[in-house]
A and B are shown apart, each in its own frame.
Chain A
Amino acid sequence: MNDKHMSDRDLVQACLSGKVDAYQKIMERYSGKAMALALNMLRHREDAEDVCQEAFVKVFNNLDRYDPQQDFKNWFYTVLYRRCLDHMRKRKRFYSFMVKFRNEPDLEAALMRQGPARNPGLDPRLLEVLSPREKMTLILWANEGYTGEEIASVLRCSPSTARVNLYKARKKLKAMLEGEDVALQNG
């Protein structure tokens, strides 16, 4: 069978039987989507590339744990989302450390501003009001057309939680688009 017409499950099976090159086909399918998702989450191109690379390695090393009953894309997005969260935590720790180390209170804000500046066209303030979980929910809903159930399978939460997160994300985004300051409402 032509590799292009092979399903994700078939390609995973090929990988598990020792054909590492089959994984290249999987990566070709998901590199663009992964990059867009990571870029939306992290707003920094180099960070997004690092996270995508790590996610692809992680997924390959855990292919034997993949449940064929589950959608491969959703499983991959779960891994990618968790890598993004890890990266965000590390970045936050690094910024906090740098601020303490250099004793410059404004450094954190300056460093945080560097990320968005490298991605013109993306207004960082619009997504900044969303929590990582809300951001991921919004990305999956808007870019992938996911339903509450599908978002829940990626975020490993209940569909009702996913739908509530989506409601909050859409509401905050709308308020931001209309120029309202919802940052204070986050607390």
Chain B
Amino acid sequence: MWRCKMVDLLIRILPVSAWKDRLIQWHVPGCAACSEKLAAREEAMSVLVQERELVSVKDFWPVVNRRLRSGVEREAPPSRPAWQWVSVAAGLAVVILTSLWLNRAPFEEASADLTQKLQIDYIRIGDEPARAYVFQPKGVNMTLVWIEKDGEGE
């Protein structure tokens, strides 16, 4: 019994299917207790719908035939106008990105001026004084302000 439990545990924790499969093949067929815990084919069939149980199956042909003959379903290769649109959009994107990149330096300078002016005099959370930390990473156009209640984390 301990062997069955060990096999069951290993099947749960082993990371590779091939190992699990080997373990199952090695232990389960020869173990009556483990084999009894597996549903037989007849039991599985009893909970599944069988083809013969279907009273009537919808005739798919009329609808499918209509769709096939209409040819709408076939995936047509992209037409030339579509490619033209794509190339125009790509060209515009290149122009926009280039202009943004060219204007990058003045923008950084302007934002640097703004961050230099950033000043926090007094902060309160829930009517109590709070601590404020201002982080300005170098080379990044960003300022982080961290605020926490005074005395927290101590």
Alpha-carbon separation in the docked complex, A18 to B20 (Å)? 47
Given A24-B65, A61-B75, A138-B48, answer yes or no on A36-B58 (Cβ-Cβ < 8 Å): no
| CB atoms of A170 and B60 under 8 A apart | no
If over half of B's interface residues share one DSSP class (helix, strand or loop), that class is named, otherwise mixed; here it is helix
Comparing B33-41, B81-89, B126-134, B142-150, the segment that makes contact with chain A is B33-41
Interface 1/0 per residue, B95-120 and A, CB below 8 Å: 00000000000000000000000000
Alpha-carbon separation in the docked complex, A60 to B65 (Å)? 10
Residue A20 at the chain B interface, CB threshold 8 Å: yes
| CB atoms of B38 and A170 under 8 A apart | yes
| CB atoms of B45 and A142 under 8 A apart | yes
- What's the minimum C-beta distance from B60 to chain A, rounded to whole angstroms? 5
Residue B122 at the chain A interface, CB threshold 8 Å: no
- What's the minimum C-beta distance from B17 to chain A, rounded to whole angstroms? 4
| CB atoms of A32 and B64 under 8 A apart | no
| CB atoms of A160 and B48 under 8 A apart | no
Alpha-carbon separation in the docked complex, A24 to B68 (Å)? 11
- What's the minimum C-beta distance from A136 to chain B, rounded to whole angstroms? 11
Comparing A6-14, A84-92, A105-113, A171-179, the segment that makes contact with chain B is A171-179
Alpha-carbon separation in the docked complex, A57 to B50 (Å)? 24
| CB atoms of A20 and B68 under 8 A apart | yes
* Interface bin, chain A: 35 or more
Alpha-carbon separation in the docked complex, A164 to B11 (Å)? 9
Given A36-B50, A40-B49, A164-B20, answer yes or no on A173-B64 (Cβ-Cβ < 8 Å): no
Residue A126 at the chain B interface, CB threshold 8 Å: yes
**A117-144 interface with B by 8 A CB criterion:** 119, 121-123, 126-127, 138-139, 141-143
Which residues of B are at the interface with A, using a C-beta cutoff of 8 A? 11, 17-18, 20-22, 24-25, 28, 37-39, 41, 43-45, 47-51, 53-54, 57-61, 63-65, 67-69, 73-75
Other contacts beyond A139-B48, A167-B28, A175-B37: 7, CB < 8 A:
A23-B65, A35-B51, A36-B51, A57-B67, A121-B49, A127-B48, A160-B20
Which 6 residue pairs across A and B have the least CB separation, nearest first? A160-B21, A142-B44, A173-B39, A174-B39, A170-B38, A161-B17
